[in-house]
Chain A
Amino acid sequence: MNEILGLSAAELAKKIRGKELSSAEVTAAFLDHTTACEPGIHAFVTRLAEDALQQAAVVDGKIKRGESVGALAGVPIAVKDNIMVAGARTTCSSKILENYIAPYDAHIITRLRAADAVFVGKTNLDEFAMGSSTENSAFGVTRNPWNREYIPGGSSGGSAAAVAARMAPLAIGSDTGGSIRQPAACCGVVGFKPTYGRVSRYGLVAFASSLDQIGPFSTTVEDTALLLSAIAGHDAGDSTSVNAPVPDYQAGLSRSIKGLKIGLPKEYFIAGVDREVDTAVKNAIEVFRKLGAEVREISLPHTAYAVAVYYILAPSEASANLARYDGVKYGFRAACDNLLEEYENTRGEGFGGEVKRRIMLGTYALSSGYYDAYYGKAQKVRTLVKQDFDRAFAEVDLIVTPTAPTTAFKIGEKSADPLQMYLSDIFTISCNLAGIPGISMPCGFSGNGLPIGMQMMAAPFAEETILRAGYQYQQQTAWHTKRPPLS
Chain B
Amino acid sequence: MEITVKEVDYVARLARLKLSGQEKDVFAGQMASILGYIGQLNTLDTTVVTPTSHALNVSNVMRDDVVRSTDLRQREQLLDNAPERDGDFFRVKKVIE
Contact = CB atoms under 8 A, between A and B. Distances in A.
18 contacts: A209-B54, A304-B40, A311-B38, A344-B17, A345-B18, A348-B17, A360-B8, A360-B12, A360-B27, A367-B11, A367-B14, A379-B52, A380-B51, A380-B52, A381-B49, A383-B51, A433-B52, A435-B54
A342 interface: yes
A364 interface: yes
Contacts of A351: 17
Contacts of B56: 196-197, 240, 242, 435
A318 to B, nearest CB: 11
A328 interface: yes
Interface of A: 100-101, 103-104, 196-197, 209-210, 236, 239-240, 242, 302, 304-305, 307-309, 311-312, 319, 323, 326-333, 336, 338-345, 347-349, 351, 353, 356-357, 359-361, 363-364, 367, 374, 376-384, 386, 418-419, 422, 433-436, 460
B96 to A, nearest CB: 10
A348 B19 contact: yes
A326 B92 CA distance: 11
Contact of A380 (B3, B12, B37, B50): B50
B61 A331 contact: no
Contacts of A341: 18
A380 B49 contact: yes
B34 interface: yes
Contacts of B31: 357, 360-361, 364
B67 interface: no
Contacts of A364: 3, 7, 11, 31, 35
Nearest to B85: A329
A234 to B, nearest CB: 11
A183 B9 CA distance: 35
A308 to B, nearest CB: 5
A386 B95 contact: no
Contact of B52 (A349, A357, A382): A382
A326 B16 contact: yes
B16 A103 contact: no
B95 to A, nearest CB: 6
Most chain A CB inside 10 Å of its own CB: which residue of B23, B81, B83: B83
A196 B55 contact: yes
B37 A308 contact: yes
Nearest to A312: B38
Interface in B1-56: 3, 7-8, 11-12, 14-19, 23, 27, 30-31, 33-35, 37-38, 40-42, 44, 46, 49-56
B20 to A, nearest CB: 8
Chain B binding site: helix, strand, loop or mixed by DSSP? loop
Nearest to B78: A103
A386 B52 contact: yes
Chain A binding site: helix, strand, loop or mixed by DSSP? helix
Contact of B41 (A329, A331, A381): A381
Nearest to A364: B11
Closest 4 pairs (CB-CB, A-B): A435-B55, A348-B18, A379-B51, A333-B83
A197 B58 contact: yes
Contact of B74 (A103, A197, A331): A103
Nearest to A209: B54
A327 B38 CA distance: 33
Nearest to A236: B63
Nearest to A382: B52
Nearest to B36: A419
A347 B35 CA distance: 23
A360 B11 CA distance: 6
Nearest to B13: A344
Given A308-B41, A380-B49, A347 B17 contact: yes
B26 to A, nearest CB: 8
Contacts of B49: 380-381, 383-384
A398 to B, nearest CB: 19
Nearest to B19: A348
Given A308-B40, A344-B17, A383 B83 contact: no
Nearest to B77: A103
A339 to B, nearest CB: 4
B33 to A, nearest CB: 6
A75 B83 CA distance: 37
B58 A359 contact: no
B46 A384 contact: yes
A218 to B, nearest CB: 25
Contacts of A240: 54, 56, 58, 61
Contact of B23 (A307, A342, A347, A356): A356
Nearest to A432: B55
Contact of A363 (B14, B52, B58, B93): B14
